[in-house]
Structure 1
Amino acid sequence: MASEVLKKGGEVTSEVWGETRGFDFEGMRFGVKAWRASAPDARKGGALSVPIVLVHGFAQQASTWDKVALSLSRTGVECFAFELAGHGAGACSAGGDPAERPDFFDLCFQARALLAFCRVVARDAGVAPVLVGYSMGGRVALQAACLAADDLRDGGDLDRTALRSSAAFAPRGRERRLDAVAGDLWDGDQFGRISLRSSAAFAPCDRTDRLDVTGVGQRDTAATSAGDAVRMPAAVPFSALVLESAGLGPADDAAREALRERNFAWAARVRDEGVSAFMDWWAGLPLFESQRNLDDDQRERLRAGRLANDAESLALSFEQAGAHQMPLRCESIRALCELSRRGVPVSYLAGRLDAKYCEVLANLRADSQGAVSCRVVPAAGHNIHLEQSEAFNAILGEVVESCTPEPAAP
């Protein structure tokens, strides 16, 4: 059920936006919210639409995608919002203390979990999802892309790193079995835990090879053929990648050290001041200036979401998954170009009012030599999907349409 209205005393009090799910990966429980397509035959011929996996930003939860996901689900697109470590319904382990397992907040660990989740969605849906990451979520999605690109270069195959069952995300109360997959899945209040085995190891995260974008404007002939839809390379569990206002990594080791010092200072600040005081300061950063133009209800929802976090989880997110933990910028761009060359389209979005990430976009456009689709969204700041949701949905709709296979001829 994509949406249900709850009533009390004859008045509408709230609306449930999607179903609460979850995904356990190597001891870490990640919260998940699912919006089933409410118009499965909306596309001509009833073709299977590519689903979307959405990853939120720092101090947010799956609910940041409510408006986007509900709108898309009404057009026949299934959406799944993946919650990062220590955010939303996620916990380090059942009832665990985040300080006891800081490794769960590690950028590479979360990226591997995200890849495993995308494989579950792909097997269940019969088609790989579009992966969308905003800000910090874009950082995790980009790290996942780097791992996937490494796997491609090393001759990786889906059987080596992938899930082997399609029986995921069945409706509540329905018994399910999964065999030899990487993670544990639970469903709402059922807590029907399913034992899943780990996948093979991924390639190392910190490659320092020089950026080479030769031929990035061309698609791999093995991935495309005349008259056929582009097929997803076996080692990549997503059909397309969309990065929204996401950093691409430090330019060099000096920049990495500067980012590390900044992020550890922010971690100390949130521990010392507490979540409320820290978030008052955070909301006042120039990066979020355009959000002051949101209506009162939107700003209140945004603040409530930020306050629904604990200080230690936020601090660990800075320390273990901050921008200083990313591959070098040249390596990130090389990975994006590799995916594009192999037939996985990559898009980068920035809001016109977000000067910092418009500059990131401009540099990416130049350095990727056209391999990455770069789009500036008018009248939007850092959070495009909140500030200009209709424009954002239109872009995602285009990406989904481009990745969705045509229905088979009768």
Structure 2
Amino acid sequence: MQSLEALAREAVALAHNEPVPGGGSAAVDEVARQMQICNACRYCETFCAVFPAMTRRLSFAPGDVHYLANLCHNCGACLHACQYAPPHDFAVNVPRAMAQVRQETYAGYAWPGALGALYRRNGVTFALATAAGLALFMVLLLAMRGSLWHEPLAGNFYAVFPHNMMAWMFGAAFGFAVLALGIGAARFWRAQSPGPVTAPAATAAAGNALALTYLDGGHGDGCNESSDAFTLWRRRFHHFTFYGFMLCFAATCVATLYHYVLGEQAPYPVTSLPVVLGTVGGIGLLIGPAGLLWLNLRRHPLHGDPAQRPMDRAFIVLLFATSLTGLALLVLRDTGAMALLLAVHLGTVMALFLTLPYGKFAHAVYRVAALLKYQVERRQPNKLQLGAD
């Protein structure tokens, strides 16, 4: 292992844009350099899964770096605890270095590959323009089919757009998103050579993902946002967002069951299971994204990669807009504005579906894969014995 003095010289060389050997991209090499320093120090070993996984390695190939970068939850705790963080010459900033590699993995494993470039362009302006364009398309389609304003239709959406038309349009968009993300995750998984997946490893990884275990800073007090003060708000807003999204998805699944299996067509009463699930989920998707945007705007300037903030905020804004238009549609579904609100909501949902594989949502898919590899790996013998996990 290199001495800290040698690593310091490399840090200074990188600061002056001088080449440092190691292979891979500059971002991958930078993570490898910082992990060498962290492996010599290991002060943050108990903070999250990244550091125990790090201690199993003496060197860091691109595949190792991709794995560790997606295992990182960007909570910021290690940055504020690090004695080698900027302005030290070692310039260790693990959250930023990992974030830069994560975007490379999203683009590198994307399917189709040519669309990986969208990760660099998917900002708030792009997201809102896509949503506005698709909403306008739905409004024009509505205008061709009838009037934008109408007599109350008792919430009957299918009187505005036929059920089969909506099912095919949005089923195809959502199916493409699932296919693209699935292929990307499979490519990432194969590149990691994780070993056999066991039931205990899969169960533990699922628990880590659902509980956001590694957003507690390693001590249960939370992570760092705008300063070195600990807070659990990022974890809480993530929970509102994730479970709100899942409740809305569950509402769609239950409504599909009602339609095709039970023969009950929409509109459903406000006390019905699909409407209750959708309402509670929609409220979660207002609270969560609003809170995450608030935290993102206040975040410490050294946290994460500033170049990716437009992509982060684009996904947050689209989720919020999807929920807001959906709840507005529910409240006003018995009025003459229902058709127009439906067109706007459907356009926003379509924009969300089409940008899912090439935006911030990808982090959830790759992070779950990295958590699963971590749980598989930690059940294998640690030949280095550099640290306990």
Q: From the CA coordinates, give the structure whose radius of gyration is larger.
A: 2
Q: Greater helix percent: which structure?
A: 2
Quick check: which one's strand share is greater?
Answer: 1
TM-score grouping bracket, smaller chain normalisation: under 0.3
- Considering Cα pairs closer than 8 Å and 6+ residues apart, tell me whether 1 or 2 has the greater RCO: 2
Normalised TM-score (structure 2)? 0.27
